Amino acid sequence: MNIVLLYLPLLKGTITAFAGLASLPVIQESLVNQHHVLTNEQLNEAVVITRSSPGPVGLWVVSAGYFAAGLPGAIAGWLAMITPALLIIPLVHFAGRKMEHPRVKSILQTIVIASAGLLLAAAIPLGHDGLTGSITWAIAIVCFVLLLTTKLDTLWMIIGAALVSLTASSVGSVAFL
C-alpha cells in the first residue's frame, strides 16, 4: 500500500476520534475491511503492544502502520498520530478565549459524548476477538469489577491477568482460554 494512502485512513481515524482507542473502528473499517492490508489479529496485536508499553494510548496507530507497511508504515502512523495535536494548538488558543461561551461548551460536550461512543465501538471487536473461553471471560469480569470498585492501577490487573492465564495454560486449561 502506498504510504500516502496508508497515512490518510490513519489520519482520518485519529482526527475523527479524540481518544486513543476511539479511532479503532474507523481504522479497522478502512485498513481491515476495505483495503485488506491488516487482519483483525494484527490490529489487536498493535493495541496489545501499545497497551503493554509506556507511552500515549494512541500510539497503537504506529504499530498498525508498521504491520501494514513496515518502517514507512510506522512513520505514516506516527505522522497520523501527531497531526491532530499540531492542528489543535490554534483551536485551543481560540477556544481558550471563548471557553465560557455556551456554543463552545456544547461543542466540547458533544465531542466527549462522541468519543465515549467510539470507545465503546472499539471495545466490542476487541472483546469479541479476545474473550474466547471461560477463563478469559472470568478475567474480564473480575477486572471490570475491580475497575468500578477500587482504585487499583491497571498495570496490576494486566500482570494478574497474565499470571492467571499463564497458570491456567500450564495446568492444562488451555482449552478454556
Per residue in 72-104, pLDDT (tens digit) is 999 999 999 889 888 888 877 777 777 778 887
**How many alpha carbons lie under 13 Å from residue 168 in its C-beta half-sphere?**
17
pLDDT in tens, 114-131: 877 877 877 787 788 778
Tens of pLDDT, residues 147-175 = 999 999 988 998 999 899 889 888 876 55
pLDDT at 19: 60
- The Cα–Cα gap between 68 and 32 comes to 10
pLDDT at 111 exceeding the cut of 90: no
- Kindly report the number of other CB atoms within 10 A of residue 100's CB atom: 7
Q: Is the pTM of this model over 0.85?
A: no
DSSP string, 35-78: S-SS-HHHHHHHHHHHHTSSS-GGGHHHHHHHHHHHHHHHHHHH
pLDDT at position 161 is 92
